[in-house]
Homo-oligomer: A and B are copies of this chain.
């Protein structure tokens, strides 16, 4: 198909497609004449992936390049491929050069001074204990576990360390959610589809769960503190 049809099918404007090609994210089409290139299904798949990574995943162009390198590396196991995409989507580790709560110098790694911070030391132990108790095959040094450590340390720092008591109930719920996520993954025939499923699932899944959690809180709060009757349009009982 020509670039116009590729644009129509994917919703990506023609100049944007040309930009992706210039940046090396998308392979150029096959030249059928000096001024015309022909694109195929592989281009369409790759373009949908790029769009999901950008618009849904919020990844930078550079990060997307990294994910695509992993996708094109036929040697990598499916697990490592999923890991490459997932690691780039851990909150606080976007690698986009922005400072975060745990990465004040914005170099993409937690600040070294934090290692001695007592809140961090305590948080790290909580996380290690949780991993051991649930026999989770994930390292305490992984980006995912470090994200939890960061959140727990921040909680302590503002005097709300007690909230960490929800950790066990949260971990059980997380297992249920992850089971559903993994059951959904892996139906697409191409590796790009797998990565796209993962990215979309991770990002949209966060948003979906956050909304569901709030809905369940409104329900629970209404029963515990409200009239317990049917909810009005503002979401609260009359």
Contact = CB atoms under 8 A, between A and B. Distances in A.
Contact of A48 (B141, B154, B159): B159
A83 to B, nearest CB: 5
A222 B79 CA distance: 6
Interface string A42-66: 0000001001100110000000000
Interface in A174-204: 174-184, 196-197, 200-202, 204
Contact of A184 (B137, B162, B233): B162
* Size class of the contact patch on chain A: 35 or more
Given A152-B208, A163-B184, A215 B138 contact: yes
B175 A145 contact: no
A147 to B, nearest CB: 4
Interface in A129-187: 131, 134, 136-139, 141-145, 147-148, 150-152, 154-155, 158-160, 162-163, 165-167, 169-184
A109 interface: no
Given A138-B235, A173-B174, A182-B217, 8 more contacts: A79-B224, A83-B234, A89-B214, A91-B210, A151-B208, A163-B197, A170-B209, A171-B216
